[in-house]
Amino acid sequence: MAKPTVVVVGADKGGVGKTTVARTVLDYFTAHHVPARAFDSESPKGTLKRFHPDVTDIVDATSVSDQMRIFDTLTDASVTVIDVRAGLLSPTLRSLRDIGFLDSVKKGQITFVVFHILGSSIASLNEIEDTAAFTGDASYFLVKNFINNTSFFEWDQATHSSYFKKKDAAAITIPKLNEMAFEQVELASVPFLTFVANKGPKGETANYSFVLRGYVRHWLGNVWGEYDRIKLNDIVATAAPPQQQQQATGASGARVQVVSRS
């Protein structure tokens, strides 16, 4: 990898599925053998850490010491995913500007990716305005997350389109996942990939429903299809060491690779 990559997943509104998206991003990197670490700023109790405990640390993104933990340890060897707590996207981006991080991005020393998860209200569109000042040099993606059956701005398509066009931002769509499948993954507290592979938190063989695993595999394949479309793997540009793996294919044709963990 030529340079470190920081992926920020956030929104200024709560309950829009930030952590779900962060989980799919981590699974995507796992499947593509991209070494990744994660920071969960939902301090003191982080949801992301519950699903990806081995690679996730909980931080308080507003504290200087935790900012040092994140940004003073960026290395060429990995991708850093930051799941930003609800309401802290704009303040976090402001902090990144203040510490000179955005300057490093501008100089091409760091690859910066922002997944801005949209809520269903017009307020979310205004958030785009707020974040725009900080994301000029980032790969900036607006994410419509349908996983909880949200409907987006259908009542005012013109306003919606004008925002997307104005910001020249690529949109990513996270499709809906069967509620029971989503709930079972929550209960299992494992990454989506691990659930598909029918494994428990410690790698032990689990007894998840074949139907629910199928729904998750299909859904994850479609989500990764979106990440392939925006060339996320090319953005982080890493060389992948070979690992033992199984392959399955989602309906979209996107690969859902189940990595064997011994």
Partner 1 sequence: MTQPHPLYIVASPRPRVGKTLVARLLIEFFHASDRPLIGYDLNPREPTLAGRFPHLVWPVDITETLGQMELFDRLIVDNTRTQIVDLGYAPFEQFFGVLDEIGFIPEARRRFIEPIVLFVTDPAPATISTYAALRRRLPGATFVPVHNESVSLVFEKEDFPATRSECSVIHIPRLSPIVRGVIDRPSFSFSAYMTAQPGGPTEVHQWIARIFTAFRDLELRLLMGRLTSSYGGPAPAQQYRDVR
For 205, residues 6+ apart whose C-beta sits below 8 A from its C-beta are: 198, 199
CB of 19 to partner 1, least distance (A): 23
| Three state DSSP letters for the chain | CCCCEEEEEECCCCCCCHHHHHHHHHHHHHHCCCCEEEEECCCCCCHHHHHCCCCEEECCCCCHHHHHHHHCCCCCCCEEEEECCCCCHHHHHHHHHHCCHHHHHHCCCCEEEEEEEECCCHHHHHHHHHHHCCCCCCEEEEEEECCCCCCCCHHHHHHHHHHHHHHCCEEEEECCCCHHHHHHHHHHCCCHHHHHCCECCCCCECCCCHHHHHHHHHHHHHHHHHHHHCCHHHHHCCCCCCCCEEEEECCCCCEEEEECCC
Q: Per CB under 8 A, does 251 bind partner 1? A: yes
Residues 16-45 within binding reach of partner 1 (CB under 8 A): none
Strand order in the sheet with 56-58: 56-58, 36-40, 79-83, 5-10, 111-118, 139-145, 170-174
Q: Which is nearer to partner 1, 129 or 183 (CB)?
A: 183
Please pick, from the candidates 47, 61, 217, 257, the single residue that binds partner 1 as defined by CB under 8 A.
Answer: 217
Q: Per CB under 8 A, does 211 bind partner 1? A: yes
Q: Per CB under 8 A, does 246 bind partner 1? A: no
Q: Which is nearer to partner 1, 35 or 214 (CB)?
A: 214
CB of 213 to partner 1, least distance (A): 8
Please pick, from the candidates 63, 159, 209, 243, the single residue that binds partner 1 as defined by CB under 8 A.
Answer: 209
Please pick, from the candidates 99, 235, 248, 259, the single residue that binds partner 1 as defined by CB under 8 A.
Answer: 248
Q: Which is nearer to partner 1, 134 or 219 (CB)?
A: 219
Q: Which is nearer to partner 1, 76 or 179 (CB)?
A: 179
Q: Per CB under 8 A, does 199 bind partner 1? A: no
Which of these segments, 38-46, 62-70, 138-146, 176-184, binds partner 1 (CB under 8 A)? 176-184
Please pick, from the candidates 22, 143, 172, 181, the single residue that binds partner 1 as defined by CB under 8 A.
Answer: 181
Residues binding partner 1: what is the number (CB under 8 A)? 15
Q: Per CB under 8 A, does 253 bind partner 1? A: no
Q: Per CB under 8 A, does 214 bind partner 1? A: yes
Q: Which residues bind partner 1 (CB under 8 A)?
A: 178-181, 209-215, 217-218, 248, 251
